[in-house]
Amino acid sequence: MQNAIPRYKEVQNILRKQILKGTYASGHLLPSEHDLSHTYSITRTTVRQALDGLIREGLIAKHKGKGSIVISDRKSLALLHIKPFTSISAETSFKTSSVFLQKTKIITWPKPFFFHVNHDLSVTGCLHFERVRYVNMEPVILDNTYLPNVNLPRFTIRKFINDSLFETLQTAYGIHIVNVVQDLRAESATEGQANALKVNINTPLLHIYRKYLTNKKNFEFYSSLYCSTQKYTIGNQFSI
Amino acid sequence: MQNAIPRYKEVQNILRKQILKGTYASGHLLPSEHDLSHTYSITRTTVRQALDGLIREGLIAKHKGKGSIVISDRKSLALLHIKPFTSISAETSFKTSSVFLQKTKIITWPKPFFFHVNHDLSVTGCLHFERVRYVNMEPVILDNTYLPNVNLPRFTIRKFINDSLFETLQTAYGIHIVNVVQDLRAESATEGQANALKVNINTPLLHIYRKYLTNKKNFEFYSSLYCSTQKYTIGNQFSI
DNA sequence: GAGTGGTCTAGACCACCTG
DNA sequence: AGGTGGTCTAGACCACTCG
């Protein structure tokens, strides 16, 4: 019943590890698509699918006629594409950690909500938690997440795998994210936000609203992320 | 010498027009990939490439087993993927306009620059302009753009096609963007920024740094965008 | 000229959704 | 059961970069 991991994702994972391990050094070229297709016994189409993922992750860039180069300067947190926050520590030398301000508990869906919540979801209540994410011991993100209270047995008492909601949903419930819609604003820190992120009140924060769609029918969830961008910027990269 | 437009982009352009015209209404389904491949006499691979572009533009979302649905609620400015600012007015009911605060002129590359500038570029100087972008007559974006002063004959005296740098580069010089790296911060408006965007001083602004890579060798350029997000948010959407 | 990534064809099998 | 998108194969030709 478990979905098999697609071949292109396997190769993407292998290449990511090799890049981060330094097998392919910053500023140097990856093997050509032709070579990779040979190495992993897959077609170039599948290789390109894997490389597209690495581009979105900000790890490589392509140049026609030359090759795929490993990105070197990665000072910013590549958070505009979706992956476990904790994977930042694997991709950079940054160390991440998390502290819960509010453990998961069942509430009614807050109104007005920043996205329109599906009516089917609203009847069963809402699982909510709040936490602060740290990079190198400094608070960077204030995360409020709201999930539908359906089909998640023992969720309120479960400890997250590797501090990661995404990994927990995937591993314990077979749920993974297939689509994301996000809106960004710049806002002034309220007193509570300022305390949580250890910044002055009225410091500008980057506010990211997110709606996650998953492979499970009628299971979509929401996050509100306040990001302190004084020390770390939020970045991404993509090809057209 | 002009590059032919790839088939998938042609189809992407056709479908975009049809979506915006209402041929495919919001919340309804596009024809299936199989149907589209038949309609335009292309393979499903090419259809999917076109649809991938529309997903990045925030115009459609895919659902396995169902189809590709036309996105309905688009209150935010889909600016985190790259396209002419002016296309916002085509995709929504918003009206856009631009006012130059500083017409294009040749300067030396500013240092320190927010991205590391290629040394080859720095010797020939820098074309710079500053403008404010309006949505529905309200100032929303303060744009400072820096281009290398090479291979752009008459650029300083040329009027932009449709107020669009991207269209001008493409049409007049055959240059198009292939890759973008961007960093985001939340910052307090300085007096100059506040005046330009008609907000109070110290209002939080979303600051987007961008580096654009193009199809022309050694031609990359840079923008700094300050966005007022009180009225319009900045958004995007993507599939994983 | 040799190698690279960009585009494209013509198929195939699968998991998922709906009637 | 039939249609949808997700994945994948095995090729092909092209434009671009570099020596």
Higher-confidence position of A101 and B232: A101
Mean pLDDT rounded to a whole number for chain B: 83
Tell me the residue type at A119.
H
In chain B, % of residues over pLDDT 90:
29
* Contact call for residues B212 and B233 (beta carbons, < 8 A): no
Query: Residue B1 has what DSSP assignment?
Result: -
Q: Can you tell me which residue has its alpha carbon closest to the C1' of nucleotide D16? A: A65
Place of tokens 């071949």: A7
Quickly state the pLDDT bin for B177 (edges 50, 70, 90).
confident
Asked if B77 contacts B234 with a C-beta cutoff of 8 angstroms, the reply is yes
Tokens of B121: 């570029």
Closest-CA residue of A relative to B207 is A186
β strands within chain A, DSSP E: 60-63, 67-70, 96-107, 126-135, 138-148, 177-188, 204-214, 220-227, 234-239
- pLDDT value of position A112: 65
pLDDT at B73 > cutoff 60:
no
List the structure tokens of B151: 């291979």
Compute the distance between CA of residue B229 and CA of residue A206 in angstroms, rounded to an integer: 10
Which residue places its CA closest to the C1' of nucleotide C3? A65
As a dihedral over the C-alpha atoms of residue A132, residue A17, residue A71, residue A133, rounded to 10 degrees, the angle is 0
> For residue A84, what pLDDT is reported?
66
Average pLDDT over residues B6-33: 89
pLDDT value at position A198? 92
pLDDT at B41: 94
**CB A168 within 7 Å, strand C:** no
Q: Which residues are within 7 Å of strand D by their Cβ atom?
A: A 6-9, 41-46, 49, 63-66; B 3, 29-30, 32-35, 44-45, 48, 62-68, 215, 217, 239
Q: Within 10 A of A22 (CB to CB), how many other CB atoms are there?
A: 10
> Which run of H or of E encompasses B121?
helix B119-122
Q: Which long-range contacts (CB under 8 A, 24 or more apart) does A112-119 make?
A: A113/A146, A113/A222, A114/A183, A114/A209, A114/A222, A114/A224, A115/A181, A115/A209, A115/A211, A115/A222, A116/B73, A117/A222, A118/A218, A118/A220
Is A44 near strand C, with its CB below 7 A from some atom of it?
yes
- In tens, the pLDDT along B83-129 reads 666 766 666 667 888 999 999 998 888 776 666 666 666 667 889 99
CA distances from B124 to A60, B150, B173 (A): 28, 7, 18
pLDDT at residue A237, as a whole number: 67
- Predicted pLDDT at B72: 60
Please state whether strand C lies within 7 Å of residue A23 at its CB atom: no
Contact between A148 and A220 under an 8 Å Cβ cutoff? The reply is yes
The residue type found at A62 is: K
CA nearest neighbour of B76 among A51, A72, A210: A210
Of all residues in chain B, the one with the smallest CA distance to A177 is B240
Q: Which residue has the tokens 């352009």?
A: B13
Smallest CA–CA distance, residue B133 to chain A, in Å, is 17
Task: Tell if the CB–CB gap between A184 and B204 is shorter than 8 Å.
Answer: no
Q: Cα distance from A176 to chain B (closest Cα, Å)?
A: 10
Q: Which residue is nearest to nucleotide D2 (CA to C1')?
A: B65
pLDDT in tens, chain A (240 residues): 345 788 998 999 899 888 878 888 888 899 999 999 999 999 999 999 999 988 877 788 888 889 998 876 555 555 566 666 677 676 666 788 899 999 999 988 887 666 666 666 667 788 999 999 988 888 999 999 998 888 788 888 888 988 889 888 888 888 888 777 788 889 989 889 999 999 988 889 999 888 888 878 778 889 999 999 888 877 776 666
The answer to whether the C-beta of A159 is closer than 7 A to strand C is no
Output the pTM of the full model. Answer: 0.79
pLDDT tens readout for residues B26-42: 888 999 999 999 999 99
Between chains, do B179 and A62 touch, taking CB under 8 Å as contact? yes
| Among A186, A202, A215, beta carbon nearest to B229 | A186
pLDDT of residue B2: 43
Q: Which two three-digit tokens encode residue B101? A: 């605060």
Query: Which of A69, A178, A184 is best to mutate for the B interface (most B CBs within 10 A)?
Result: A184
